Amino acid sequence: MTNLLRATRPRDVSVTLLGGLWHLEAHTAEDWIGAIGWDTDNLTGVMPGLLDQQQLETMLELSRQVDDIDSRWLHSGRAAVGRAGGRDWWWTVNLVTMCLQGWPYVNGLLLHKGIAASSFGFPDWIDAAYMLLWGRSDEKDRQALDLRLSLPPKNVPISGAASKKMLAAFAAD
Amino acid sequence: MTSDETTFSLDLAGRSILFKRAKPGQLLMLQRLLEGLRSKMDTAASDAERGNLFIRLNKHSLDMIESLVVQPDDVEFLQEQMLLGVLDVEDLRPVLSGGKTPEAVPDDAPPKKRAPRKAPRKAAVPRKKP
């Protein structure tokens, strides 16, 4: 079946690392939000945190043999978040961090609209959370929100295409 | 217990053991793995299954000792204590929290006294004229 949305925002996310394919065990938005929130800087809650029990044993053994495993996990964790959210990974991490900072408020408002993180898929929840923040802001705050979401963390090199996109968004603002 | 950025020491089976700090991702995996195996053991359908899980649990504990203990003598000592049953996986729990143990309160410690309540401040009353 050809489905653009499923291709760009897959329900099941896997990453390639150390020559193997690793399946992440996250089915709902809650799984992803919790995993990202566990460690928003290094995303250890995503990778290796979301590996299933069987893969954990293999990864644990491999991690003792690979010196730079931390940075490999970080890169694959970022790739996984990008794939799961269907947007740049830093945009997704920024949005989740922002929502977690005011979780009872954001989650409460979304629940009132029938959007439960425990039953919605991650990309749908992201769309809803973004529209909630965007819809409750005035024009000036919307620009600030978009700018804040599109800023990658310090010391993170981003691709030329992504930086052009950011500059274009900034110029449009 | 002493500690710095890369190592910490713990008293186990009457001996002070120096441990390397594991990577946060490794600690997370170990915690999940050991908890998963332990909960599977609780619900195992047969003795054979329980025995198999016990072997895997012990293997991971021994691997953890081997990879995190600094002194080879201590590795041997701890592995021996595990095999003898003097130590078990529960005793290694502080290793998973990077050497942090819950603050111990001695049995004979006097109960903490409540700070005396401050008397409410009296509202200023204008002085009576003599």
- What is the band of A80 on the pLDDT scale with cuts at 50, 70, 90? very high
- What is the band of B130 on the pLDDT scale with cuts at 50, 70, 90? low
pLDDT at position A170? 57
CA-CA-CA-CA torsion sign (A85, A88, A91, A97): positive
Q: What is the pLDDT of residues B79-122, one digit of tens each?
A: 889 888 888 888 888 888 766 655 544 555 555 555 555 555 55
Q: Decide the pairing of beta strands B15-20 and A14-17.
A: unpaired
CB neighbourhood size of B120 (10 A): 6
Pairs of CB atoms within 8 A across A/B: 47
pLDDT at A74 over 90: yes
- What is the band of A158 on the pLDDT scale with cuts at 50, 70, 90? low
Q: Chain A residues with CB inside 8 Å of B33's CB? A: 53, 56-57, 60
| Range B2-13 average pLDDT | 80
CB contact under 8 A, B26 and A53: no
CB A149 within 8 A of CB A91: yes
Q: How far apart are CA B37 and CA A24, in angstroms?
A: 19
CB contact under 8 A, A63 and B32: no
Of A44, A61, A69, the CB nearest to B28: A44
Choose the mutation target among A57, A67, A76, A78 for the interface with B, i.e. most B CBs under 10 Å: A57
Cis omega before residue A153 (within 30°)?
no
pLDDT at B63 over 60: yes
CB A93 within 8 A of CB A81: yes
Q: What is the ipTM of this complex?
A: 0.73
Q: Chain A residues with CB inside 8 Å of B36's CB? A: 53, 56
Percent of chain B having pLDDT more than 70?
Answer: 72
Choose the mutation target among B20, B26, B33, B68 for the interface with A, i.e. most A CBs under 10 Å: B26
